[in-house]
Amino acid sequence: MALLKETDFGTPAKQGAPVTLTIDGVDVTVPEGTSIMRAASQIDRPIPKLCATDSLDPWGSCRMCLVEVEGVKGTPASCTTPVRAGMVVTTQNDRLAKIRKGVMELYISDHPLDCLTCAANGDCELQDMAGAVGLREVRYGMDGANHFEAESRKPVDTSNPYFQFDPAKCIVCSRCVRACEEVQGTFALTIDGRGFASMVSAGTQIDDFFSSECVSCGACVQACPTATLMEASVVAKGVPTRSVETTCAYCGVGCSFKAELQGDQVVRMVPQKSGGANEGHSCVKGRFAWGYATHKDRVTTPMVRDAITDPWRAVSWDEAIGFAADRFKKIQAEHGKGAIGGITSSRCTNEEVYVVQKMIRAAFGNNNVDTCARVCHSPTGYGLKTTFGTSAGTQNFKSVEKADVILLIGANPTDGHPVFASRMKKRLREGAQIIVLDPRRIDLVKSPHIKAAHHVQLRPGTNVAVMNALAHTIVTEGLVDEKFVAERCEDADFDRWRAFVAEERNSPETLAERIGVEPETLRAAARLFATAGNGAIYYGLGVTEHSQGSTMVMAMANLAMATGNIGREGVGVNPLRGQNNVQGSCDMGSFPHEFPGYRHVSDAATRDLFEKAWGRPLLAEPGLRIPNMLAAAIDGTYRGIFVQGEDIAQSDPNTVHVTAALEAMDCVVVQDLFLNETAGYAHVFLPGTSFLEKDGTFTNAERRINRVRPVMKEATGLSEWEAVSRLAAAMGYDGMTYASAAEIMDEIAALTPTFAGVSHARLDSGASLQWPVNAAAPDGTPTMHKDGFVRGKGRFMVTEYVATDERTNRHFPLILTTGRILSQYNVGAQTRRTENGRWHAEDVLEVHPHDAEERGIGEGDMVSIGSRIGATVLRATITDRVPQGVVYTTFHHPVSGANVITTEFSDWATNCPEYKVTAVQVTKSNQPSDWQEHFRDVHERQFVVAAE
Ligand code: SF4
Ligand code: SF4
Ligand code: SF4
Ligand code: FES
């Protein structure tokens, strides 16, 4: 596709009653509140502009967009003037042309005329506008005071690895400052000085972008109409010439992008305005951190080895697949069909995930398939299915724009889901309130123009107690939405729940000490949520990764139903999914007990459907979950595993146990981009494809099915689904002979009622679909449970609080909890191979000043952190973001070994690990832990590739 330019209408779209006016003799009808500029653009009468762009509120500073309006004196700015019924507007005549030319002359007289060598040549709005107004000369000459001559020119700021700032080219239109405020919500930029001295500033003493508050989202770069703020990649490579529309492969927000290329080289990623999830915004990862796709560490050739201590040997695809199939078949012959299985990846496309679970069920002949969602959002599936009837969030992201109060639980969107966080912050700036439930003081508790109404700074592990205390307040203070409950929910279940939460043992006063929060705060938070209007719940892994993760999900569903906050815009219960395709990998049948579409394997009709389609008998009993696979491996009954795009040796709890299990197996097959930690224990490495090479779909946290299109050819010579299909064939199953990823989606749609109306062709024609997409909802379902719950009536569940078995004591007096940071992503395999490492080169341990002082720990000291399971060594940072008694770290670097410490306690219903609560002791240390020594040793022995 040629370079795709999305129209800039100059000012944002409005919603309002239709208004008809006349522009240049043409009648046009637009919503009330629309600017003249936007209305003119809609009838293809674009008005010259510089300070306006349609992602920002109008500013009215450049005076380029002046028009004439009948009956109005002077020449109003079309960007700041809203339409009126009957208005008669002239956008172009000699008088207007003269004014615009004069304005442009002033701009150009203080602008370097180096267009031919400028990085933005051909992609510069200033250049375009000079052409549009017919400027041919600058009458004032270029010799006056200016910002571009050597003596007055400020140096170019190249401190940010992804974009540069060249002050000499700035026209002080303020679009960057406004983008940082209105779109991103970070407020990192300001205009310093007055008049001629006005200058964009990143507001720090050294005044560079890297050391400022800037989070490198790139919104300012996108908004800048000149080459002042410019991607470093464009400066280096030149302007792109073609575009491919695709989807970010990092988090569950699922932002749409245009990959802009020269040939098959990506020059930049530009977030798409038409993207339903992001509407033109992005974060540092999606916009800039795509270089890992061509990183030198990529392995693009299949490799095998007999033993994990042998060097890797590069082989052909046929040899690698034959090697894996022979080993799997041998294991099954000697130890039974159930001795092998596999894990799907939430980083892969729906189509890639679907073929892996199909291979396991149909070619391996068992249900031993699980997914990385086991360790993140499996409680979401269980809890929401039990209460509402389906395993997914209830809203689209846009819904937050109608929320009046947001209950944010165990999620840190500004780091984990940044583009959604920007939407949320915008709504908060408009006046909505937020209640934050988190042990840590995340940015949404307090940041520029944001202040939480309540920060419920609970003790880790007491989520359910908090929810019961909130529910107690709502029930006993008469705040239940009785009408909603009577019409929409099961009576008996509600009565049981009401009686349960009303018990005194669930009151804020009784639970306050356990929770560590004043009862009045809990009561005030409950009252606010129940009475402020539309109440929306958003949550993350701080909810699910607990021994009561599933109970907590049901507790949130109870709260939403009790307050009538479900089934319309602005409300709902919404998981913020971690990885790009967590929703999709679960939808595609990755759990051992469910076929695609969440249908239980014991259901005879569903089994019959799949048996007929796949031509193989299928088991009615659920297979093994990941923890069961690992335990069985240590017992010797489970001996082979196919691991798709997941690094369980780094991401799963109790690393020593995981690696012992991997070490015990006869055949570990890893399909991934890089030799990850799990590959250290593998016998076969099948090179995977990056998102820039994939063809398929991802499903984001809103259930939105987004197209992922190949931007470049596979570096490996084979797509992932083809490699899996060939492995299935080598295992003796010939039911996976697909010609394309689109064919795989056709099979998914034919077998999965919620996907019935989905196809690549439909998505390619511009449809943006949120499942269910079927006869009842041909265009998808942005809001779930509108006229009734998927299960019929909503089901309240009694949520007894049960403290975790993981307890602090004198030996392990602190609680470790974990999370993410903005610049890194998950186990860091991708982001560590980009410039993002500049922001977070190592995982550090946050320690409260009091706990640090007690232990003699200073800022930057190396500390040993030990639990009942293991110990590792990290650098400490002293901060009161964590409360006393709690320490916090991230897990983006393998050598940190965060999961060497985490225990095997898990959610009672789903086995989702209890990552968020580990009792630990922290002491000063100046040497690596035993595990870290072992880690280095393993790398020396097991990551060796034989010389060619
Ligand atoms: S990159 Fe984003 S955060 Fe940084 S200054 Fe620009 S808009 Fe603000
Ligand atoms: S940096 Fe760009 S967007 Fe910002 S004021 Fe200057 S020209 Fe305008
Ligand atoms: S918010 Fe998530 S999906 Fe969007 S650009 Fe950032 S990492 Fe990608
Ligand atoms: S575009 Fe209207 S005043 Fe600048």
**pLDDT tens digits, residue range 68-91?**
999 999 999 999 999 999 999 999
DSSP state of 458: P
Specify the CATH architecture of the domain 814-942.
Answer: Beta Barrel (2.40)
For 163-294, CATH gives 3.30.70.20
Tokens, residue 542 = 């701080």
* Confidence at residue 947, expressed as pLDDT on a 0 to 100 scale: 62
Closest CA to 728 of 402, 329, 209: 329
**pLDDT tens digits, residue range 641-688?**
999 998 999 888 888 899 999 999 999 999 999 999 999 999 999 999
From residue 831, alpha-carbon distances to 583, 834, 915 in Å are 22, 5, 22
Separation of CA 115 from chain center: 38
CA distance 643 to 827: 15
**pLDDT tens digits, residue range 211-227?**
999 999 999 999 999 99
Among the listed ranges 331-340, 636-645, 689-698, 764-773, which one has the minimum average pLDDT value?
Answer: 764-773
Cis peptide before 772 (omega within 30 of 0): yes
Residue 30 carries which side chain, given as an amino acid letter? V
CA distance 355 to 914: 30
Which residue did the predictor score with more confidence, 109 or 854? Answer: 854
**Across 63-214, where does the E strand assignment appear?**
68-69, 88-90, 163-165, 190-192, 199-201
From residue 693, alpha-carbon distances to 259, 689, 708, 712 in Å are 12, 6, 9, 5
Tokens, residue 671 = 């399909």
How many A from CA of 768 to the centre of ligand 3?
17
CA distance 641 to 324: 10
Which of 9, 63, 99 is the pocket-test mutation for ligand 4 (most atoms within 8 Å of CB)?
63
> Which residue CA neighbors atom 3 of ligand 4 most closely?
60
Average pLDDT over residues 478-484: 97
Tokens, residue 692 = 């820039």
Closest-lying ligand to the alpha carbon of 218? 1
Tokens, residue 22 = 């006349």
Residue 414 near residue 448, CB atoms below 8 Å: no
Which residue did the predictor score with more confidence, 206 or 213? Answer: 213
Residue 369 near residue 591, CB atoms below 8 Å: yes
Would the CATH topology of 18-92 be identical to that of 378-575?
no
CA dihedral 715, 717, 719, 721 (to 10 degrees): -140
Which residues make Cβ contacts (< 8 Å) with residue 422, sequence separation at least 6?
183, 184, 185, 217, 281
How many A from CA of 11 to the centre of ligand 4?
10
Closest CA to 203 of 179, 184, 177, 227: 177
pLDDT band at 204 (very low <50, low <70, confident <90, very high): low
Cα of first residue to Cα of last residue in the chain, in angstroms, is 39
CA distance 834 to 2: 28
What proportions of the chain, in percent to the nearest 5, are helix, strand and coil?
35, 20, 50
How many A from CA of 210 to the centre of ligand 1?
10
Average pLDDT over the chain reads: 93
* Confidence at residue 133, expressed as pLDDT on a 0 to 100 scale: 85
**pLDDT tens digits, residue range 489-522?**
999 999 999 999 999 999 999 999 999 999 999 9
pLDDT band at 546 (very low <50, low <70, confident <90, very high): confident
Closest CA to 628 of 910, 354, 917, 331: 910
CA distance 702 to 699: 8
β-sheet bridge partners, residue 304: 313, 684
Residue 768 carries which side chain, given as an amino acid letter? S
Residue 49 near residue 65, CB atoms below 8 Å: yes
CA distance 479 to 745: 46
Residue 826 near residue 820, CB atoms below 8 Å: yes
Average pLDDT over residues 354-362: 98
CA distance 507 to 505: 6
Separation of CA 91 from chain center: 43
CA distance 812 to 403: 41
CA distance 483 to 498: 15
pLDDT above 80 for 207: no
* Confidence at residue 512, expressed as pLDDT on a 0 to 100 scale: 97
Domain boundaries in the chain?
18-92, 163-294, 306-376+582-770, 378-575, 814-942
How many A from CA of 283 to the centre of ligand 3?
6
Tokens, residue 56 = 């920002």
Q: Has domain 378-575 been given CATH number 3.30.390.10?
A: no
In the chain, % of residues over pLDDT 90: 81
Residue by residue, DSSP assigns 290-356 as TGGGG-TT---S-EE-SSTTSPBEE--HHHHHHHHHHHHHHHHHHH-GGGEEEEE-TTS-HHHHHHH
> Which residue CA neighbors atom 7 of ligand 2 most closely?
170
Residue 882 near residue 814, CB atoms below 8 Å: no
Q: Phi/psi at 831 (nearest 5 deg)?
A: -65, -30
> Which residue CA neighbors atom 5 of ligand 3 most closely?
286
pLDDT above 90 for 825: no
* Confidence at residue 923, expressed as pLDDT on a 0 to 100 scale: 95
How many A from CA of 209 to the centre of ligand 1?
8
Provide the CB-side half-sphere exposure for 713 (13 A, CA): 4
State whether the beta carbon of 229 lies less than 6 angstroms from ligand 2: yes
CA dihedral 667, 669, 674, 677 (to 10 degrees): -50
Specify the CATH architecture of the domain 18-92.
Answer: Roll (3.10)
The DSSP element (H or E) to which 781 belongs, if any, is none
* Confidence at residue 154, expressed as pLDDT on a 0 to 100 scale: 84
How many A from CA of 173 to the centre of ligand 1?
16
**pLDDT tens digits, residue range 682-709?**
999 999 999 999 999 999 999 999 999 9
Highest mean pLDDT among 137-141, 573-577, 600-604: 600-604
Separation of CA 47 from chain center: 37
Residues with CB under 6 A from ligand 1: 179-180, 184, 186, 188-189, 214-220
How many A from CA of 150 to the centre of ligand 1?
27
* Confidence at residue 142, expressed as pLDDT on a 0 to 100 scale: 64
Average pLDDT over residues 352-362: 98
Q: Which atom of ligand 1 is nearest to the CA of 163?
A: 1
In the chain, % of residues over pLDDT 70: 99
pLDDT above 60 for 948: no
pLDDT band at 555 (very low <50, low <70, confident <90, very high): very high
pLDDT band at 141 (very low <50, low <70, confident <90, very high): low
Closest CA to 267 of 286, 251, 288, 248: 288
β-sheet bridge partners, residue 669: 642, 684
Torsional class of 62: left (φ above 0), alpha (ψ -120 to 50), beta (otherwise): alpha
**pLDDT tens digits, residue range 735-750?**
999 999 999 999 999 9
Q: Has domain 306-376+582-770 been given CATH number 1.10.10.10?
A: no
How many A from CA of 134 to the centre of ligand 4?
18
CA distance 105 to 125: 15
Strand order in the sheet with 242-247: 242-247, 256-262, 265-271
Separation of CA 214 from chain center: 19
pLDDT above 80 for 205: no
Closest-lying ligand to the alpha carbon of 423? 3
pLDDT above 80 for 137: no
Which residues make Cβ contacts (< 8 Å) with residue 102, sequence separation at least 6?
none
Average pLDDT over residues 910-919: 86
Strands 684-687 and 303-304, by their bridges, are antiparallel
Which residues make Cβ contacts (< 8 Å) with residue 704, sequence separation at least 6?
254, 276, 277, 396, 768, 769, 770
Q: Which atom of ligand 2 is nearest to the CA of 172?
A: 5
> Which residue CA neighbors atom 5 of ligand 1 most closely?
214
CA distance 417 to 202: 24
pLDDT above 60 for 239: yes
Closest CA to 767 of 153, 221, 274: 274
CA distance 279 to 400: 14
State whether the beta carbon of 222 lies less than 6 angstroms from ligand 2: no
